[in-house]
Structure 1
Amino acid sequence: MIKVGNTIHLELNNNDEEKKRFKSKILDHEGNQVFIDYPVDQKSKKPSFFLEGTQFRVWFVGKDEAIYLFETEVLGKDEEKFPMLVLKDPGANNYVRIQRRHYVRVEATIDVAVNSQSNKFEALTTTTADVSGGGFALILPDDHAIEANDLLEIWLAIPYQSGDIEYLDIQAKAIRTFRERGRIKGSFQFVNIGETKRQKIVRYCFERQLLMKRKEKI
């Protein structure tokens, strides 16, 4: 699945507010080891060097044009032929596969504040039922006044595994409301969302998928 020559993206797992991201190239793959060129910082454009045990979240594009995500750590360096960083390959069974052009939808309870852009109803607070990079579903009160095509201003409090919380102000359009298991839900699509905000939501979805994979193994 991992192909020599492919580009690989890395995000440093730390507690910094600003996540550091890097880009590299897969130079070799043997057993549970992936050999990559020294990662280049996407901001400074300079090569970076990391100690054994440094942890990353990694993703790459597979032959099937899907995105594969996994968590890894630095096993060491290999400088016999030319400088390479050695990463641990957790195995294909531990990859999270993301179909390109389709956003992963995960069940998630995220605190939300909802405002009507046309002042059709008073602001309300609720939680999500699920979320993806393209939109979300909300738990709605029985007396809600939201209708299809209503434009809303949404505040999401995105909780990451690091303990950080990202507050996002996003426009959304109501698609439909429905009753499920005794509760009223509404499905919503993001409108005019910037790529930076979308990537923050996608990152949260990735973390949720990895967490659910770990729980399945317990």
Structure 2
Amino acid sequence: MSALYPKINEVLYIQLDTGDQKEAEVLYKSRISDMDGESIYMEVPLQEGTGRLKKLYIGDEISAYFLTEGGVKNYFNSYVLSHHEDVIKLVRIKKPESDQITKVQRRGFLRVQSELEVAVTAKDGARFLTKTEDVGGGGISLYLEPGQSLKEGDLLDCWILVPYKNGSVEHIPFEGEVVRLKELPVGRSIVMMKFTQILDMERQKLIRYCFERQFDLRNR
């Protein structure tokens, strides 16, 4: 194992990247309980100062750091893969590649601005096609046209059309929950959703698209 990785029992300092500015500034602490080739298993994080437990959802994007000699902060981004019952409750997060651990904090690495086609089916059977405003490994934001209505907490079955640089196109299905709605001046709204059910394989496809897209945006 690379010397760069944190060790078992070390403390992870975590911030959540939910698109909510206030939440993003809250710092949580957790302890690493176990690690394997794919995953880091950590205890349920506690909020610094209050000691309150923070419930994490599958797909939540996090920015984490651990300390090495001399108090150097080593940052990496990850997301929640699953929950794990051991002697205590554990949260399994994606283990970063060793070259993704840096001395510089990179926030929101998985959210990219992108207008992709998305088909939405609400639980009451209402269906519509729309475009995304941004996409990420933990959720998407989409446009809601006048006359279409959704509310916080609604669960939606969706699929999203994802084109890659090599010309291939994927239909990625998922279930998402409406987290927040933001009114736009022109009668449209933006709906922010987090994934509640998505296969890890499908999430990886979406993350691959985000990295491709981010690379394009950076090299314009």
TM bucket, shorter chain: 0.5 to 0.7
Q: Does 1:117 align with 2:127?
A: no
1:179 offset after TM fit, Å? 1.5
In structure 2, the CA distance between the partners of 1:99 and 1:196, relative to structure 1 (3 Å rule), is farther
Structure 2: stretches of 5+ with no match in the other structure: 6-72, 78-98
Which runs of at least 4 in structure 1 moved beyond 6 Å after TM superposition?
Answer: 4-7
Q: What is residue 204 of structure 1 aligned with on the other side?
A: 209
Equivalent residue letter for 1:129? E
Alpha-carbon deviation of 1:181? Answer: 4.7
Matched residue, 2:148: 144
Q: Matched residue of 2:192: which SS?
A: strand
Alignment partner of 1:66 out of 76, 79, 92: 76
Structure 1 residue 180: deviation in Å? Answer: 2.7
2:111 equivalent to 1:105:
yes
Q: Answer yes or no: is the 8 Å Cα contact 2:117–2:132 preserved in 1.
A: yes
| SS state at 1:162 partner | coil
Counterpart for residue 188 of structure 1: 193
SS of the aligned residue for 1:198 comes to helix
Q: SS at 2:74's partner residue?
A: coil
1:184 Cα deviation (Å)? 1.4
Per the normalisation by structure 2, the TM-score is 0.52
Q: Partners in 2 of 1:109 and 1:126 — Cα distance?
A: 9
Structure showing greater Rg: 1
**2:132 is aligned with 1:132:** no
Deviations 1:44-93 (A, max 9, x none): xxxxxxxxxxxxxxxxxxx82426xxxxxxxxxxxxxxxxxxxxxxxx9x
Match of 2:183 among 179, 186, 191: 179
**3-state DSSP class of the match of 1:163?**
coil
Give the Cα separation in 2 of the matches to 1:178 and 1:213. Answer: 27
Pair 98,204 (structure 1): closer, same or farther in 2 beyond 3 Å: farther
2:181 equivalent to 1:214 = no
Give the whole-Å Cα distance in 1 for the aligned partners of 2:207 and 2:105: 10
SS in 2 for 1:211: helix
1:110 to 1:181, Cα distance in 2 relative to 1, 3 A: same
Instruction: Report how far residue 98 of structure 1 moved.
Output: 8.0
Q: State the superposition RMSD in angstroms.
A: 3.2
Asked whether the equivalents of residues 171 and 191 of structure 1 are also in contact (C-alpha less than 8 Å), the reply is: yes
| Equivalent residue, structure 1, for 2:162 | 158
Counterpart-to-counterpart distance in 2, 1:181 and 1:104 = 27
Structure 2 CA distance for aligned equivalents of residues 135 and 103 of structure 1: 13
Q: Distance in 2 between matches of 1:132 and 1:167?
A: 15
| 1:87-102 equivalence runs, <5 A | 99=106
Residues 203 and 158 (structure 1), Cα distance of their counterparts in 2 relative to 1, 3 Å cut: same
C-alpha displacement at 1:130, in angstroms? 0.4
The TM-score, its normalising length taken from structure 1, stands at 0.52
Q: CA deviation at 1:196?
A: 1.1
Structure 1 unpaired stretches of 5+? 8-62, 68-91
Distance 1:163 1:181, change over 3 A: farther
Matches within 5 A, 1:69-80: none
Which residue identity lines up with residue 208 of structure 1 in the other structure? R
Equivalent residue letter for 2:151: E
Secondary structure of the corresponding residue to residue 66 of structure 1: strand
Identity of aligned residues (%): 30
